[in-house]
Amino acid sequence: MSAEAKEKVHQEIDERMQELEDTGLTRYEILFEMQKGMRLADDPFFQFIKNSKTGREMLLKPGEEFSADRVIELALR
């Protein structure tokens, strides 16, 4: 993947993760519709992935496609 393509994915991740955080929901409310857990704005793992491009890239296994959908899915699990 080229550096330009990778940067576009990072920009999409930035936008989508900010939108998720702005909802004020928890990962349980997003994934399971359960009223428990901490808001994404307070969740340390979500915040780490949101703020660290290197962390996002390290989250994936070798050979796994680097996409916004996959990174956000892993950040919520």
pLDDT band at residue 22, thresholds of 50, 70 and 90?
very high
27 Cβ contact partners less than 8 Å away, ≥ 6 residues apart: 37, 40, 43, 46, 76, 77
pLDDT band at residue 8, thresholds of 50, 70 and 90?
very high
38, containing H or E segment: none
Least confident of 9-13, 26-30, 71-75: 26-30
Tally of CB atoms within 10 A around 28? 14
What average pLDDT does the structure give for the chain? 90
pTM above 0.85, yes or no: no
Answer whether 74's CB lies under 8 Å from 13's CB. no
Q: What is the pLDDT of residue 68?
A: 92
